[in-house]
Structure 1
Amino acid sequence: MENQKASNYRWTICSLLFFATTINYLDRQVLSLTWKDFIAPEFHWTDSDYGTITALFSIFYAASMLFAGRFVDYMDTKKGFLWAIFIWSLGACLHAFCGIATSGLVTGDWMVGFEGAKEAISKVGDTALVLSTSVTLFIVARVVLAFGEAGNFPAAIKATAEFFPKKDRALATSIFNAGATVGALAAPVTIPLIAKNFGWEMSFILIGALGFVWMGFWVFVYKKPHAHPRVNKAELEYIQQDIVSENQVIEPVIGTEKKMSFASCFNYKQTWAFAFGKFMTDGVWWFYLFWFPAYLSSVYGLKSDNPLAQTMMFVLYAITLLSIIGGWLPTYFVDKKKMNPYEGRMRSMLIFAFFPLLALLAQPLGSYSAWFPVIIIGIAGAAHQAWSANIFSTVGDMFPRSAIATVTGIGGMAGGLGSFFINKGSGILFDFARKSWTTVNGEPLASVKPEWVTADFKLSDTMLKDLAKEGVEVANGVNTGYLIIFSICAVAYLIGWFVMKTLVPKYKPIQL
């Protein structure tokens, strides 16, 4: 009995966290893959309108993260996760009914189906009313989605801390965090096809329903490791190996932890280091996630249902699967180089912070082939996910289990704020770039023929293509806009790392 082989049930839990994260990112991606080519023509959206929707999603996600972590610590992992995925799946499905609600509010006719709503909206002369009503309704649906999705990472990080020792947490986190990549990978080859063949509404409903299926598995599979019949004594001892380290208690036995108040979390530099790292880098990933389909459409004329565009997005997110290395590298530093977990994690994060600098070349090389930015952004995305797995694990390194979800939520709030600024700023910048930096035969739009310019003083994507076919030299100003944002994304990680290292230069776990 003393030589009992350890069970490996912790990896079953990790696989459930992986699928939850996959569903999370599929739900988040539906709008980005349908708005430009399916939703915008129906409701007359601009880049700025979409930027507003994604930015407000980010800010509500940020605010929700602040409370979601505390909620998960209060409800505990199992119930907290169930509530989170129920709410976000409901929010995902609500998007599908925004068209019917827009038709009802604008025309007064609520008794219509999806196709009936489209027909009613197309006959409305006041396009500004349709636009403002639809944007408002989509924001409401995004708020519900954000409120639920905010619970995913606090609950997943808490579950990881319960089922894995510190040295394995980055690997476990990188594996379940790869669900974000798999979700993003599956999205472009499924969502546009659903939208094209069954309507954009069904893409929200079918993808949103996956969360309800996951809930059934979680109810029956998850229990605390010390109470789980599938976790034997040997595995439990492996999981709890950090209870005593260096002759001092650094992680109390489960169930005996002292509670850390919400306000007291802000008294520690460790909280601020984690929050700043998230603020600087989360928005980068969200920008790639929300805007890359629009980038291919605006810069290269490749719509989301175009086979080449789908292939490019698939390749991009396939490259990001390299991020699993991010979980292995700190374990190598701890086991082979004898570093402590925090030192090994920070060394790994510094290495990953250099790869996003490649984004500086994305737009210049994109003038030769669209494949260059696809590959470069894929590498940058892999570096982000590797960075993300490790920055999440620093919370488990420093804080007691009773505060992990709360601190994760605080960092998530900071990351959401960063995403708000980059998404809202991008939408404004791209509309401004189209208007002010687009030239025709070297002349600004103000001096070209009026029939080439739309009512909102910009050249449409269709008009740009038509003019190019006629031999007119057109410089699309939005290219410069993307160059600016890519440059910001490139340097964000190194800035985040240096500030984190300055705030917490050495490994210092918090004891209550």
Structure 2
Amino acid sequence: MLIIRRPRHIRTEITVPDGESVNGQRAAASVSGANNASGRSGRSNLRWVVCGLLFLATTINYMDRSALGLVEPILRHVLGGDLHPDLYNRQYSDIVICFIAAYGIGLLITGRIIDRVGAKVGYALSITLWGLASISHIFARSVVAFGAARFALGLGEAGNFPAALKATADWFPAEERALATGLFNSGTSAASLVAPLLIPWMAVHYGWQSAFLTTGSLSMIWLAGWLIFPYNRLRKKYGVAAVESQKKEKPPESAPRLSMKFLLKKRGTWNFAFSKFMTDPVWWLYLFWLPKFFNERFHVNMLGMGLPLIVVYIGSTVGSIVGGWLAGFLMKRGYSLQTSRRLAMMICAFCATPVVLIPVVHSLWHAIGLLCLATAAHQGFSSNLLSTPSDLFPTSAVGTVVGIGGAVGAVGSTLFTTLVGIVWRKYSLLVFVAGGFAYLITLMAFQWRPPVPMTDEEARAAAVSA
């Protein structure tokens, strides 16, 4: 009698009589099932701890950058906006652009650095810079000084998404990446829930400088936890590469390093970059101009800003998680990886279009409802879009591709923010029309000659030729 035992946690036995070929096949199948079960058990739940750390970092990241918009009613008085509102709108736009331009420059640099030094070191360097830059706002008293502080903040914050997406590729298999991305990306929405409660209260009671001191201090606290966490040691044992090598019963191969020149020639890089060019400006619009919109259109004061923004960003949090979950759900139902991504993105793209009605509604809560849907659609769309670099390229190139896309997105955001500063008072309808249809245009770009994922053989050949 041949007795094949499965791992202890399954607690089943299959007994196969000797000499029976059919039962011998069953025995082989049982061995295969045992190996598969072992492979699944080898994937540690530590990946969700990593996802939680990425969520907290992204939350702090967006609290840092959103602080400016939340204290804007006070800064308007500091910078003379009461006397020259049109001039002040352009100056405020210039301050925002300083951040976006630095963010784009930083993405080109940090993406490549993170691919070389890894997520652990890259994240630590990034959050150190942006935490100190956030604290530096307390010394600013002029447009130039605020612009300089925002520029430094943008350089530091640029490392967040390349590092987070590289960490996601390190720890999560393809079918879980959109969900993991959606979970940590929901930190952008969580920040928009916490920040409207915390930052205006701090600014009103302790001065606007306290808002920036608070967010910068949170960055330093997260940094301490990240440095203590043994990321690299655990990744080598429980990361995606380690689990896959256990299944194949051979040591993991090092990921090939692809040159910037090679990546710039790939259609997948530019599909991702164009998508960022079209959709990043819309999120900047919601992040930096919504408090101003509520204040000017519906006369919501600074302390009353919390509830409208919280409701809007609850919607975006739900969209981020559901959008990531939807792609994984479709994959489990037999759809291919690319088809699942595009179907999820298509649903989100159509949900984003009703925001074009914002300028013509007269009720605050009608506007909030439309913005809930729009921000949820954006986050769901982004959860899938941000997963595409790890779908198309090896993990050693994810940070670089994300950096290239983010830099192109920053160019689009700079152009759009400049336009918003010019037309905001008279032609706000155009701003929301552009925001509503950006996702459908992006989706059409993905459907036109969709990129093909790189095979391991192609990546190794490209690395050798470089």
CA distance in 1, matches of 2:251, 2:282: 38
C-alpha displacement at 1:342, in angstroms? 1.9
Distance 1:285 1:236, change over 3 A: closer
C-alpha displacement at 1:373, in angstroms? 1.4
- Count of residue correspondences: 413
Q: TM-score, normalised by structure 1?
A: 0.77
What code does the residue aligned with 1:69 have? G
Tell me which residue corresponds to 1:248.
none
**Is structure 2 residue 212 aligned with structure 1 residue 212?**
no
C-alpha displacement at 1:408, in angstroms? 0.6
Query: Secondary structure at 1:281's aligned position in 2?
Result: helix
Tell me which residue corresponds to 1:10.
47
Structure 2, gaps ≥5 residues long: 1-5, 10-40, 82-87, 460-466
CA distance in 2, matches of 1:383, 1:53: 27
Tell me which residue corresponds to 2:406.
412
1:34 to 59, 64, 71: 71
* Equivalent residues of 1:342, 1:507 under 8 A apart: no
2:430 to 446, 471, 484: 484
CA distance in 1, matches of 2:202, 2:51: 29
Tell me which residue corresponds to 2:119.
77
1:257 to 233, 255, 258: 255
* Equivalent residues of 2:115, 2:400 under 8 A apart: yes
Tell me which residue corresponds to 2:13.
none
Q: TM-score, normalised by structure 2?
A: 0.84
**Is structure 2 residue 353 aligned with structure 1 residue 357?**
yes
Tell me which residue corresponds to 1:66.
108
RMSD: 2.1
C-alpha displacement at 1:481, in angstroms? 2.4
CA distance in 2, matches of 1:84, 1:31: 20
What code does the residue aligned with 2:55 have? F
CA distance in 2, matches of 1:97, 1:237: 46
* Equivalent residues of 1:162, 1:224 under 8 A apart: no
CA distance in 1, matches of 2:373, 2:247: 37
Tell me which residue corresponds to 1:286.
284
Tell me which residue corresponds to 1:224.
232
Structure 1, gaps ≥5 residues long: 100-133, 245-251, 431-477
CA distance in 1, matches of 2:386, 2:252: 20
Distance 1:33 1:263, change over 3 A: same
Distance 1:240 1:363, change over 3 A: farther
Deviations 1:34-87 (A, max 9, x none): 12x111101214111111111221111111111110011122110000000000
Distance 1:201 1:237, change over 3 A: closer
What code does the residue aligned with 1:362 have? I
CA distance in 1, matches of 2:450, 2:436: 23
C-alpha displacement at 1:240, in angstroms? 3.0
Query: Secondary structure at 2:448's aligned position in 1?
Result: helix
Tell me which residue corresponds to 2:60.
23
CA distance in 1, matches of 2:241, 2:359: 51
Tell me which residue corresponds to 1:399.
393
C-alpha displacement at 1:241, in angstroms? 8.1
C-alpha displacement at 1:316, in angstroms? 0.8
2:375 to 381, 386, 394: 381
C-alpha displacement at 1:222, in angstroms? 3.9
What code does the residue aligned with 1:240 have? E
Tell me which residue corresponds to 2:96.
54
Distance 1:380 1:225, change over 3 A: farther
Query: Secondary structure at 1:303's aligned position in 2?
Result: coil
**Is structure 2 residue 244 aligned with structure 1 residue 240?**
yes
C-alpha displacement at 1:351, in angstroms? 1.1
What code does the residue aligned with 2:145 have? L
Tell me which residue corresponds to 1:313.
309
Distance 1:241 1:335, change over 3 A: farther
Distance 1:2 1:292, change over 3 A: same
C-alpha displacement at 1:422, in angstroms? 1.6
C-alpha displacement at 1:221, in angstroms? 1.6
Tell me which residue corresponds to 1:102.
none
CA distance in 2, matches of 1:241, 1:357: 45
Q: Percent identity?
A: 34
CA distance in 1, matches of 2:246, 2:277: 30
Distance 1:241 1:38, change over 3 A: farther
* Equivalent residues of 2:242, 2:252 under 8 A apart: no
CA distance in 1, matches of 2:397, 2:272: 14
